[in-house]
Amino acid sequence: MNNMKVQRAQRDRVISKFPPPYKEDSTPYKDTDFHQSVRTACSSNKTGTVGLKVSKAIVVGDVAVGKTCLVQRFCHEIFDRDYKATIGVDFEVERFDILNVPFNLQVWDTAGQERFKCIAAAYYRGAHVVVIVFDLNDGFSLQHCQRWYDEAMKENQSNAHIFLVGAKKDLCNTVQFEAVEKEAIQLAAHLNAEYWSVSSLTGENIEPFFNRVAVLTFNAAVQREIEDMEKNAKAKKIAVAAGGSSLIKLTPDLDGSLDDKSPS
């Protein structure tokens, strides 16, 4: 008897409803619910789509904009006021249950220092999600987001989900916040990214943001698997149908002759 216990996600990582964006007009991802084929596949437990799913998210941005605090607040529910620079790359895995299917989100927290740029870039490849973080109180960090986007996309597929995240919202006054957010939303539209503003100190929007990241990538991954399965099934049917229609014998009989077995 197998006594191994199946690890379950925490209660706040169990998702059955499609989470909304931060703002309806600040996202290129317009789905408001799971695709029907995804719901069907996940509820039937009869296809290859049911099983552990994994998506890779990379977090990039300037030094000290709040990347590590963002990750640590979500993964460990902690906030460290003492700044410690990330050396190279840090790695976290968060477990979700989405539509009763286990899902792991790998979060790669990369260093912002120039001297670690080559090390961090090596981990960009194969990302399903690119999270570009800037400091809402630092206009220069927002200006640099285009460069971080370009660097990340050098190594990534064009269909990766892109998010632009303004951190340290708790430090902004109202006038400053509104001005910076307006500019950030414009940049997000240019990058074809979804915009969020968050506070790792207060926890504002942290959980909704990561839930949104997880669900969007899960929905897309299962859809791709379903499409691939349908294409493979169709290809097999075509191959079977074609295989019985024009068989030609090209190997010699015992008398050395070639016997054409093609249908007359």
pLDDT tens per residue, range 177-232: 999 999 999 999 999 999 999 999 999 999 999 999 999 999 999 988 888 777 77
Q: 46 is written with which tokens?
A: 């009869």
| Per-residue pLDDT at 22 | 98
Residue 207 lies in a domain: yes
Nearest to 213 by CA among 81, 108, 122: 108
| Per-residue pLDDT at 115 | 52
- Whichever domain contains 144, its CATH number is 3.40.50.300
| Per-residue pLDDT at 206 | 97
| Residues 184, 198 contacting (CB under 8 angstroms) | no
| Per-residue pLDDT at 5 | 44
| Per-residue pLDDT at 264 | 44
Question: What is the dihedral sign for C-alpha 164, 135, 211, 68?
Answer: positive
Q: 84 is written with which tokens?
A: 């410690």
Residue 56 lies in a domain: yes
Q: 172 Cβ partners below 8 Å, 6+ apart? A: 136, 137, 180
* Backbone dihedral angles phi then psi of residue 249, each to the nearest 5 degrees: -80, 120
What is the residue type of 163?
Answer: F
Residue 241 lies in a domain: no
- Distance CA(219)–CA(31), nearest Å, equals 10
* Domain around 117: 11-227
Residue 244 lies in a domain: no
Residue 148 lies in a domain: yes
Residue 243 lies in a domain: no
| Per-residue pLDDT at 230 | 77
Domains identified in the chain, total number: 1
Residue 251 lies in a domain: no
Q: Which residues of the chain have pLDDT under 70?
A: 1-9, 45-52, 81-88, 112-120, 157, 235, 239, 241-264
Residue 250 lies in a domain: no
- Distance CA(61)–CA(91), nearest Å, equals 16
| Per-residue pLDDT at 50 | 56
